[in-house]
């Protein structure tokens, strides 16, 4: 495995106050031990009871060993006292920070705005009156749920880690958590009766045709509006069940390879893999346009390509229909690139630090492993490269995948993998003119945050 390692961080486990107070008695006793005893001990190159390697007359080796042990115990108690004092200072600083964050809303503007905007429907969003009423009821309940849990989130995030915590770091961790919870809602793979509605809807292009929203709640509402009117209430019941798991750990989400469902498709475009006849004609024709890129596509076109690709997985028996549904939902989920730290470049020479670690990943405290899959032709040339899976963690996200942020390490991982020399593969390993290799790249968060 080729790795990018810069540093590691650890945690301090605070000691027991009662045990410490009892040990202070022992320390006081030690400090009153005669100086002649405390001065004895074992030093490099010497034996117990010897001075300069020569045993002093009348010295007792047992007493020297006991003195050395007492000295070690005294040092351990001094170290514990120092660590507990540092821990008390940290607790006090965190409490002051939490009070400051609660008083000054401006310090948490990013996560608060994210939380407020994720579950709002635009006034001009075209929904039937009956549908809007149902949608607003589900989303209103979710806003109340998220607001009720906000104080606990603030307390939890300001208690994490060790040492001094800056307000901007706490705010970023909360932003990570908010956005990731939204992505977990969208990617929730827990079976629900409404899944049958979506499995059927994904069989035809109509579900994506009018999609023009990017914010999650508005996007889901538009997709549900495209369903037959008699199915909309049931579809929102499914969303309500997923939203009711907000903040819970664990939750069922697609496995890491299924979360890379979109990547294999994008690596092949604009030449689609498989049978493109079931792709919406306007999207299929657009693929032939010069300069076509996936990133430039509208929400509707991107949704349609992912819908078609999900059905290709079912047709070729690579996925079951429920599994393909959840892979599609995950690919449609919200991502950090559109919401977090817009002033931090994601590409180009200013996107990484001097060690090649992405600046966004550093600010958001991302780390983990990205596995890149490459197809290599008979001459040893890399003809296709994409992310096969990701195992990425993010500050503020615990016990669940960092779905909303895990793609932030893709570009640097693909670039790093591209520099790995490729030799002509063994002909016996080739299939359809290429051989496949996978390169895992580990990203370790630099110190000093």
Q: What percent of the chain has a predicted confidence (pLDDT) above 70?
A: 83
Q: Classify residue 285 by burial, with Cβ atoms within 10 Å: 0-12, 13-18, 19+.
A: exposed
CB contact at 8 A, 131 and 203: no
pLDDT of amino acid 90: 63
pLDDT of residue 67 exceeding 90 = no
pLDDT tens, position by position, 230-265: 999 999 999 999 999 999 999 999 999 999 999 999
Beta carbons of 119 and 143 less than 8 angstroms apart: yes
Instruction: Return mean pLDDT, the chain.
Output: 85
What are the residues facing 386 on neighbouring strands?
373
Question: What is the model's pTM?
Answer: 0.78
For the chain, the structural domain boundaries read 17-99, 104-334, 349-443
Chain segment 385-441, per-residue pLDDT in tens: 999 999 999 999 999 999 999 999 999 999 999 999 999 999 988 988 999 999 999
Handedness of CA 224, 227, 232, 234 (dihedral sign): negative
**How many Å apart are CA 273 and CA 375, to the nearest integer?**
15
Count of beta carbons in the 10 Å neighbourhood of residue 304: 23
Q: What is the dihedral of CA 316, 318, 320, 325, to 10 degrees?
A: -100
Residues 6+ apart with CB under 8 A from 194: 234, 235, 237, 238, 239
CA 276 to chain centroid: 34
């Amino acid at each position: 495995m080729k790795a990018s390692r810069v540093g590691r961080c650890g945690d301090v486990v605070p000691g027991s106050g009662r045990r410490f107070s009892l040990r202070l008695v022992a320390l006081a006793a030690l400090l009153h031990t005669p100086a002649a005893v405390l001065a004895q001990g074992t030093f490099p190159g010497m034996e117990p009871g010897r001075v300069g390697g020569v045993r002093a007359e009348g010295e007792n080796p047992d007493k020297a060993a006991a003195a050395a042990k007492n000295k070690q115990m005294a040092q351990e108690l001094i170290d514990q006292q120092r660590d507990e004092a540092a821990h008390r200072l940290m607790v006090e600083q965190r409490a002051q920070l939490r009070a400051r964050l609660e008083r000054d809303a401006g310090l948490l503007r990013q996560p608060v705005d994210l939380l407020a905007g994720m579950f709002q429907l635009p006034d001009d969003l075209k929904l039937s009156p009956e549908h809007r009423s149902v949608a607003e009821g589900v989303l209103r309940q979710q806003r109340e749920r998220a607001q009720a849990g906000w104080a606990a989130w603030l307390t939890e995030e300001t208690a994490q880690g060790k040492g001094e915590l800056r307000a901007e770091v706490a705010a970023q961790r909360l932003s990570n958590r908010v956005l990731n919870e939204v992505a977990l809602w969208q990617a929730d793979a827990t079976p629900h009766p409404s899944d049958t509605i979506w499995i059927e809807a994904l069989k035809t292009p109509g579900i994506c045709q009018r999609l023009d929203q990017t914010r999650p709640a508005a996007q889901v509402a538009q997709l549900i509006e495209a369903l037959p009117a008699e199915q909309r209430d049931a579809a929102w019941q499914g969303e309500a069940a997923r939203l009711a798991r907000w903040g819970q750990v664990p939750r069922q989400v697609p496995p890491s390879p299924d979360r890379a469902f979109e990547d294999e498709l994008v690596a092949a475009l604009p030449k689609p893999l498989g049978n493109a006849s079931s792709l919406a004609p306007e999207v299929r024709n657009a693929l032939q346009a010069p300069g076509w890129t996936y990133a430039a596509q509208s929400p509707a076109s991107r949704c349609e390509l992912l819908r078609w690709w999900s059905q290709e997985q079912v047709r070729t028996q690579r996925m079951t229909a429920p599994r393909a549904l959840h892979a599609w939902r995950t690919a449609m989920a919200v991502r950090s690139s559109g919401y977090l730290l817009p002033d931090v470049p994601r590409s180009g020479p200013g996107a990484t630090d001097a060690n090649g670690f992405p600046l966004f990943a550093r600010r958001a405290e991302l780390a983990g492993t990205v596995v890149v899959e490459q197809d290599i032709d008979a001459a040893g040339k890399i003809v296709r490269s994409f992310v096969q899976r990701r195992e990425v963690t993010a500050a503020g996200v615990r016990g669940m995948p960092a779905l909303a942020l895990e793609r932030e390490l893709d570009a640097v991982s693909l670039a790093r993998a591209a520099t790995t020399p490729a030799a002509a593969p063994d002909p016996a390993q080739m299939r359809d003119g290429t051989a496949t290799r996978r390169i895992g790249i580990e990203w370790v968060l630099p110190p000093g945050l």
